[in-house]
Structure 1
Amino acid sequence: MENKNIGEIALDKEVYAFELDDVLFPKQDYLLQVYYLFGSFYEFTEGTVKANDLANFMKKVYLYHGEEKAFDAAKEVFGIEEKYRENLERLKANAQLPLRLELFTNVKAELNKLFEANKQVAILTEGNPVEQLNKLKFIDWDILTPYKEQIKIYFVDELLHQKIDIIPYLAQEFSVLEDSLLVLD
Structure 2
Amino acid sequence: MNWKDIPMDKKVYLFELDDVLYPKHDYLLQIYYLFGQFVEFSEAREISKSLTAFMKEKLFSEGEAAVFEAAKKEFKFEQDYSENYERLQVNGHLPLKLLLFNEIKLLFAALLEQGKTIAVLTKGNPALQLNKLKHIDWQGLEKGVKVYFIDELVFRNIDPIPYIASENGCLPEEIIFIEEKLT
* TM-score (norm: length of structure 2): 0.93
Preserved CA contact (<8 Å) 2:40 2:47: yes
Preserved CA contact (<8 Å) 1:43 1:49: yes
Determine the structure 1 residue equivalent to 2:175. Answer: 181
How far is 1:167 from its partner?
Answer: 1.2
Distance 2:79 2:14 in 1: 38
Aligned pair count reads 178
Preserved CA contact (<8 Å) 1:17 1:184: yes
Distance 2:105 2:86 in 1: 29
Is 1:152 aligned with 2:146?
A: yes
Counterpart among 37, 43, 46 of residue 46 in structure 1: 43
Distance 2:87 2:70 in 1: 19
RMSD: 1.2
Counterpart among 3, 7, 11 of residue 3 in structure 2: 7
Determine the structure 2 residue equivalent to 1:162. Answer: 156
Determine the structure 2 residue equivalent to 1:105. Answer: 102
How far is 1:48 from its partner?
Answer: 3.2
Determine the structure 2 residue equivalent to 1:120. Answer: 117
Counterpart among 66, 77, 82 of residue 74 in structure 2: 77
Determine the structure 1 residue equivalent to 2:88. Answer: 91
Preserved CA contact (<8 Å) 1:42 1:49: no
SS in 1 for 2:124: coil
How far is 1:76 from its partner?
Answer: 0.7
Preserved CA contact (<8 Å) 1:18 1:123: yes
Determine the structure 1 residue equivalent to 2:165. Answer: 171
Structure 1 residues 81 and 181, CA gap change in structure 2 (3 angstroms) = farther
The higher-RCO structure (CA 8 Å, 6+ apart) is 2
Distance 2:68 2:166 in 1: 41
Structure 1 residues 82 and 158, CA gap change in structure 2 (3 angstroms) = farther
Preserved CA contact (<8 Å) 2:43 2:78: no
CA deviation profile, 1:60-118 (whole Å, cap 9, x unmatched): 11111111110000011111256201101000001111111000001110011001100
Identity level (%)? 48
Which ranges of structure 2 fall in alignment gaps of 5 or more residues? Answer: none
Structure 1 residues 49 and 68, CA gap change in structure 2 (3 angstroms) = farther
Runs ≥4 in structure 1, deviation > 3 angstroms? none
Distance 2:127 2:160 in 1: 20
Which ranges of structure 1 fall in alignment gaps of 5 or more residues? Answer: none
* TM-score (norm: length of structure 1): 0.92
Distance 2:32 2:67 in 1: 9
